[in-house]
Amino acid sequence: MADERRAHWPKDLQDEIEARAWNGCVGTKLLSETARVRVWHLHIPPGVRFPFHRHVLNYFWTALADGRARNFFEDGRVADSEIQRGLTRHFEFGPGEYLLHSVQNIGTTTLDYTTVEFLGSPNAPLPLPPDHSN
């Protein structure tokens, strides 16, 4: 059953958020994992949308290039933003808190980010598929 908060979204987005609600792959490639951190690269070509994924760990991301992004959030919000190379955002979650969203490249340049998740966060890390791909 579709969530009324997202009734204005196309059906494929509504279906995808339900199917991928527990997707813990927060990047296109897991570059490194230690006992303390997971380091991801997120690469989104122009016109491409990175699928829905759930952040449960404290993390930060840094943009490696300029661009334009559109985020689709679980509560139905859609937000566009200008991204500048070097822009960095930090996120912290308490027990049971999370962020479920999808990122679309609405610009003409490739969006590239490095994301670092902290495994010692209040929430346990989500399991990853064997190939660590989204």
Model pLDDT for residues 6-21, shown as the tens digit of each residue: 999 999 999 999 999 9
How far apart CA 14 and CA 103 sit, in angstroms, is 14
68 Cβ contact partners less than 8 Å away, ≥ 6 residues apart: 80, 81, 82, 83, 105, 106, 107
Query: Confidence band (pLDDT; 50, 70, 90) for 129?
Result: confident
Query: What's the confidence (pLDDT) of residue 52?
Result: 98
Q: What pTM does this model have? A: 0.94
